[in-house]
Structure 1
Amino acid sequence: MNNYQSFSDDHHFRRVGATEPIQLQPEEPAVTQWQVSAIADLVTHLMHLVGIPKGRPAIIAVDGRGGSGKTTLTTALATAVPGAQAFHLDDLIWNEPLYDWDQLYVDTLTQLRQAGCLDLVPDKWREHGREGSIRVPAGSPLVVVEGTGAGLRAVSDLIDAHVWVQTCDDVAERRGIRRDIAEGVNGDAEESVRFWHWWMAGERLFFAKDRPWRRADVIVSGDAPAGVEPGEIAWTPGPLLPR
């Protein structure tokens, strides 16, 4: 029995218009109106979608462009469900070629679904001397996988719900560069900007082909429009299809 109740069609959300204009890649339709609710209401909706799988955790993929707000959303979702685990795709694909890791991701989710847990040392970790492992303890009720490409087409049958975080390109770029400079992960400021532009070029090609928003169960605004208060979130049921 699923303890999470779905929202009926007449559930009353507050509605707000999208921030205009929003710059997205040509293939992605922009959401024009959002429904606003407490974050807990979004969690309830998602948990109703995923149900309670037998012998394994439910798996929610949180996808979006770099700097879109995926990690912030993932933290909120994982915090709201006791025992939930956040799985950062960047850890799994660390040092893998850009967008050439489909099979690794498929194999990892397959293992998680079959075993109900995970204790994985990726090959690249061994090659480069990275210590530790990627762990999902047995009995975890939910795994939230976040990362650019987390909801790619190849894993459609391996995830239970798919969230696409829609954020303006300019906003995502500013966030990503600011974060990378602060963390010092890609060199100095000039190197961080150069890396980000290289990353975004590959990201745009990937999303133009994969178009994850067409499969998403929920679309979340990664840049809250006017009228969204602290503790609230703007979202809408997916998918996003061409008009």
Structure 2
Amino acid sequence: MRHLHDLHDLPASHDLPGLAARLRALPPSCGPVRLVAVDGHAGSGKSTFAARLAEAAGGAAAGPGARPGPAAGPGPAGAAQGPGPGPAHGTGSGPGPAPAPAPVLHLDDLASHEELFDWTGRLCEEVISPLSAGRSARYHPYDWNLRRFLEPRTLPAAPLVLVEGVGAGRRALRPRLAALLWMERGAEESWARGRRRDGPAQAAFWDGWTPAESRHFAADPSRPYADLLVCESGAGYTWRGALTGTIG
């Protein structure tokens, strides 16, 4: 495990396609899959970063000179969000279709009003177990408006799969991770951003969420185990750290 002061001693980088290529080059961590977690406080920008990294990973899969497509923003607060499409396959000669982004699993799809953080068993059964066997996962996304789980959705066992959400780097999941990325924004600032994003209608939800998140990270912190600390920088990102393929 790297120590946080070691991460800050390393030079910052901002090459998102280069980061995606490095992640794809890591040893598989969950069967044939390189499972990469994007963790951080609610409102810290995880969904947006994961979407941009997923797009960059599609370009990285195409090799040098590829240009990733436009980044996808996060879905509406509380809405069930699906993973990206599966990996693209070559068709022989010619450029062929553009490579697909890396699939993204949003942990908001596995949590619920009754189980904000108690979703480890569901994640392991519906996602980790099939991916580790090289099979596509089928999980039931939660609809935060209807307050119920929906019909199953498929997550392919692609070479690189991103899992983003609060607690993505939790203790139970780290042995299956190829890398853990932490969005480096403080809790209070992140929560304020989230409240502005979701508006007054979600104020009561945030009032319950913030103490629950604090309790989770006090008992099961992710940041000390991060391979990279990611910061927003203008219209892009910078990060510090090193990808070793092992997480303490």
Q: Give 1:63's aligned residue.
A: 39
Q: Which residue identity lines up with residue 238 of structure 2 in the other structure?
A: A
Unpaired stretches in structure 1, ≥5 consecutive residues: 1-27, 182-188
Tell whether 2:58 aligns with 1:39.
no
d(CA) in 2 for partners of 1:53, 1:201:
32
Q: Give 2:156's aligned residue.
A: 137
| Contact 2:106 2:165 survives alignment (8 Å) | yes
Q: Which residue identity lines up with residue 64 of structure 1 in the other structure?
A: G
Q: What are the residue-to-residue correspondences of 1:166-185 with 2, within 5 Å?
A: 166-181=184-199
d(CA) in 1 for partners of 2:51, 2:216:
25
| Contact 2:17 2:56 survives alignment (8 Å) | yes
The Cα of 1:170 is off from its aligned counterpart by 3.2
| Contact 2:33 2:160 survives alignment (8 Å) | yes
| Contact 2:8 2:240 survives alignment (8 Å) | no
The Cα of 1:144 is off from its aligned counterpart by 0.4
Q: Give 2:210's aligned residue.
A: 200
Q: Which residue identity lines up with residue 185 of structure 2 in the other structure?
A: T
Higher deviation after alignment, 67-76 or 50-59: 50-59
Q: Percent of aligned positions with the same letter in both sequences?
A: 30
| Contact 2:30 2:131 survives alignment (8 Å) | no
Output one character per residue of 1:10-46: Cα deviation in whole Å (capped at 9) or x when no partner. Answer: xxxxxxxxxxxxxxxxxx98x8676132222322333
The Cα of 1:202 is off from its aligned counterpart by 0.8
Q: How many residues of Structure 1 are paired with residues of Structure 2 in the alignment? A: 194
Normalising by structure 2, we get a TM-score of 0.67
Tell whether 2:226 aligns with 1:216.
yes
Higher deviation after alignment, 128-137 or 61-70: 128-137
Q: Give 1:99's aligned residue.
A: 117
| Contact 2:43 2:190 survives alignment (8 Å) | yes
The Cα of 1:194 is off from its aligned counterpart by 3.0
| Contact 1:166 1:219 survives alignment (8 Å) | yes
Q: Which residue identity lines up with residue 112 of structure 1 in the other structure?
A: L
- Name the Cα RMSD after superposition: 3.0
Unpaired stretches in structure 2, ≥5 consecutive residues: 59-86, 88-101, 244-248
| 238 and 68 in structure 1: CA distance in 2 versus 1, 3 angstrom threshold | farther
d(CA) in 2 for partners of 1:95, 1:133:
19
| 69 and 54 in structure 1: CA distance in 2 versus 1, 3 angstrom threshold | closer
Q: Which residue identity lines up with residue 201 of structure 1 in the other structure?
A: P
DSSP 3-state at the match of 1:153? coil
Q: Give 2:129's aligned residue.
A: 110
The Cα of 1:96 is off from its aligned counterpart by 4.3
DSSP 3-state at the match of 1:119? strand
The Cα of 1:76 is off from its aligned counterpart by 1.0
Match of 1:236 among 225, 240, 244: 240
d(CA) in 2 for partners of 1:120, 1:68:
25
Match of 2:51 among 75, 90, 115: 75
d(CA) in 1 for partners of 2:216, 2:152:
28
